[in-house]
């Protein structure tokens, strides 16, 4: 079956992520550190008890409505999904195609290693990180759950008309540190300082870029031509970041026609209210219920039931 959308970028669909951050302004210890602010979504599991009476007589209509407690082996045989083909387990030899039907986000631990050989882990590597979950069905009718790591939450903030900011790595690094300190103070006890045992501390603000001539989803005021694109550890940090920028903050390297500007400034927020999973779909050009492809060698299987966290037949 042909796929309607082919994901074949450098980023890994099980670790799918935005392009590597450029322009400086990233947290100490590497480009890919981050903080945490999100609770895992918990889902109730309903267990179906097997009926001990054996299969129904041949003339019983197993298409009729039944209560969960009345489900028999015959019902299970009729409703069960097909066995997973051996080719699905050969992740280095075959692409995995699926039609996705549902999407959500949870908080979890960062991956220890990128399944795509030679590629580093994108996004935060310390603390709790956002994980996108895609649920769907592959070409052979097997249920599939895909856990996507590395997509970093961000928002835009416009510089006032006639203002600019030094785009050097050193200056954006200072801007990032100012936002880091402001975010941690704003989040208070909500910010998780747990590390991954490496001695590194999680970061709230992961990076800052200056963007010129940004075009919005809906259309910006033409007077806004320069923006700061700020990356944060978890989507729940965006509202706090928005408050900080709207209350006014002083950044180094800001200037206008009269020279350096050292007073506090208000930065107008843009796209701060775009939901995280929608932001991912827009950036990756994914449409609802479309077909996606996980290129071979870019994903790994979740083997144990505990690691899967779902009843889907195949978990990536």
Rg (alpha carbons) of the chain, rounded to whole number: 24
Quote the mean pLDDT of the chain: 81
Model confidence over 89-114: pLDDT tens digits? 999 999 999 999 999 999 999 988 88
Residue, of 251 and 193, whose pLDDT is higher: 251
Of the pLDDT bands very low, low, confident and very high (cuts 50, 70, 90), residue 1 is very low
pLDDT at 81 over 70: yes
Model confidence over 151-186: pLDDT tens digits? 999 999 999 989 999 999 999 999 999 999 999 999
pLDDT at 73 over 70: yes
Model confidence over 249-269: pLDDT tens digits? 999 999 999 999 999 999 999
Q: Would you call 121 helix, strand, or coil by DSSP? A: coil
| Residue range 291-311: mean pLDDT, rounded | 89
For the chain, what are the domain ranges? 153-270
DSSP secondary-structure letter at 203? Answer: -
Residue, of 246 and 17, whose pLDDT is higher: 246
Its pTM stands at: 0.75
Q: What sign for the dihedral angle of Cα 273, 13, 104, 98? A: positive
CA distance 82 to 240: 47
Q: In what order do the strands lie in the sheet with 128-138?
A: 291-294, 96-109, 128-138, 143-148, 314-315
227, with CB counted inside 10 A (0-12, 13-18, 19+), is buried
DSSP secondary-structure letter at 249? Answer: B
Q: Hey, what are 108's tokens? A: 């979890």
pLDDT at 66: 61
pLDDT at 3 over 50: no
pLDDT at 221: 64
pLDDT at 194 over 70: no
Nearest to 106 by CA among 17, 268, 214, 236: 236
pLDDT at 129 over 80: yes
| Residue 33: other Cβ atoms inside 10 A | 23
Question: In Å, what is the CA distance from 126 to each residue of 194, 207, 234, 251, 266?
Answer: 8, 15, 12, 27, 31
Nearest to 179 by CA among 216, 209, 212: 209
pLDDT at 214: 76
């Amino acid at each position: 079956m042909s796929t309607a959308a082919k994901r074949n970028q450098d980023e890994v669909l099980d670790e799918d992520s935005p392009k590597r951050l450029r322009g400086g302004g990233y947290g100490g210890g590497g480009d890919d550190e981050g903080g945490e602010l999100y609770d895992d979504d918990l889902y109730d599991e309903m267990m179906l008890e097997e009926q001990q009476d054996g299969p129904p007589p041949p003339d019983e209509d197993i298409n009729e409505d039944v209560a969960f407690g009345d489900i028999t082996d015959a019902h299970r045989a009729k409703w069960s999904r097909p066995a997973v083909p051996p080719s699905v387990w050969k992740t280095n030899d075959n692409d995995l195609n699926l039609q996705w039907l549902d999407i959500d986000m949870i908080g979890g631990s960062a991956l220890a290693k990128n399944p795509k050989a030679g590629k580093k882990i994108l996004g935060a590597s310390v603390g709790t990180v956002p994980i996108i979950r895609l649920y769907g069905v592959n070409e052979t009718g097997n249920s599939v759950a895909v856990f996507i790591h590395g997509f970093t939450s961000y928002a835009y903030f416009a510089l006032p008309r006639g203002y600019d900011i030094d785009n050097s790595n050193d200056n954006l690094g200072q801007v990032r540190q100012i936002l880091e300190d402001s975010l941690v103070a704003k989040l208070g006890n909500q910010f998780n300082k747990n590390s991954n045992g490496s001695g590194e501390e999680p970061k709230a603000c992961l990076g800052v870029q200056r963007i010129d001539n940004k075009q919005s989803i809906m259309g910006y005021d033409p007077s806004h031509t320069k923006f700061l694109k700020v990356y944060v550890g978890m989507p729940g940090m965006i509202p706090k970041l928005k408050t900080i920028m709207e209350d006014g903050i002083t950044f180094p390297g800001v200037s206008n026609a009269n020279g350096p500007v050292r007073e506090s400034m208000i930065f107008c927020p843009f796209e701060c209210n775009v939901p995280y999973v929608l932001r991912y779909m827009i950036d990756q050009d994914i449409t609802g219920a479309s077909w996606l492809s996980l290129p071979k060698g870019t994903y790994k299987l979740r083997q144990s039931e505990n690691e899967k966290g779902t009843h889907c037949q195949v978990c990536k």
